[in-house]
A and B are shown apart, each in its own frame.
Chain A
Amino acid sequence: MIEVRFFATFREGRGKSSLLEEKDYENTGKILEHFHILREEVAILLLNGVYIASDAPVKDGDVVALFPPVGGG
């Protein structure tokens, strides 16, 4: 399974996290597509804590964290 963790406004309507079958999602792009999130809406996309700039393959046990811009002060 792949754990997708949502943060800030990405939680609205999606909850805090979601588990996906790795066989249905070959890369992070497919995961974003599944949750109707555009890449440009994502400020931080981490795969197991590491930033990835473009679609990266995912495997069983991976954790994907999605964080929108939270830059106010």
Chain B
Amino acid sequence: MKYERQLLMPQIGQEGQKKLEQSTVTVIGSGGLGSPVLTYLTCAGIGTIRIFDCDVVSESNLNRQFLHNTKDVDKLKIRSAEEKLSVLNPDVNLIAINKRLDKDNAEDCIKGSDVVVDCVDNIATRITVARACIKLNIPLVEGGVSGFYGYVIDIGRNYPCLSCMGYDKVIQKTPVPILGVTAGVIGCMQANECIKLLLGIGDPLYGRMLTYDGLSASWEEIHVEKSESCPIHKYKIKKQ
């Protein structure tokens, strides 16, 4: 039986599995973070997974984006991802959309999701996704990587977002150096948070930024609070 080992878990069981199968998750990006996120959510039997990406596979992606391989170079990432994931678990309803999220379409793109997982490679899109999730009150699992380092945090209407931490003001140098393993570690943690949020189990990473240091092989938490001056949360308060 496909899900036998997770059905044995008291936190999941038949009831939890049914919940997963009735869930809709939107994953933004099918690259370094998106590869492990999409793989494990597909394996876990999420009912519907929407994938957004507008990029094509390039050779420089292959050190970390394991959903794509040398034969996929120049192919749309959503097509390449869909091919692998549909074989991995044909029972998952995969909806792959070739679109870049922006402030005009973000809400329409994520509408109806139980959880959104942000796997993009730039800060501007992270802020756009967070704004839409907070407005529509959809939990968001956020992750980022650089070199041997990474972080994961859950974001919600009542919990701090990246703008609360001033993260929207920073300009990131590109291309970002990334070891494939680091994206794998953080992506797996994002998938784990997503499953927890869908099932309503455990302690989500709300208000806690979990940071990973692959060089010292250690994890640490940064406690964060909502900011009164946060432009995203402030907007929400005004609308309430």
Chain A interface residues toward B at CB < 8 A? 5, 7-9, 11, 16, 40, 42-46, 49-53, 65, 67-73
Contact = CB atoms under 8 A, between A and B. Distances in A.
A8 B167 contact: no
Contacts, number: 107
Nearest to A48: B223
B91 interface: no
B227 A70 contact: no
B224 A7 contact: no
B225 interface: yes
Contacts of B123: 69, 71
B224 A71 contact: no
B81 interface: no
Contacts of B183: 72-73
Going nearest first, the 5 A-B pairs with the smallest beta carbon separation are: A72-B176, A8-B149, A43-B170, A73-B121, A49-B223
17 contacts: A16-B216, A43-B167, A43-B172, A45-B166, A49-B223, A50-B225, A53-B229, A69-B123, A69-B167, A69-B170, A70-B145, A71-B172, A72-B121, A72-B145, A72-B177, A73-B118, A73-B145
A50 B207 CA distance: 11
Contacts of A73: 29, 31-34, 118-122, 143-145, 183
A44 B166 contact: yes
B31 A51 contact: no
Interface residues of B, number: 45
A52 to B, nearest CB: 8
Given A71-B121, A73-B29, A51 B164 contact: yes
Contact of A70 (B118, B120, B146): B146
A8 B222 contact: no
A27 to B, nearest CB: 16
B227 A7 contact: no
Interface string B149-183: 11100000000000011110011110011100001
Nearest to B34: A73
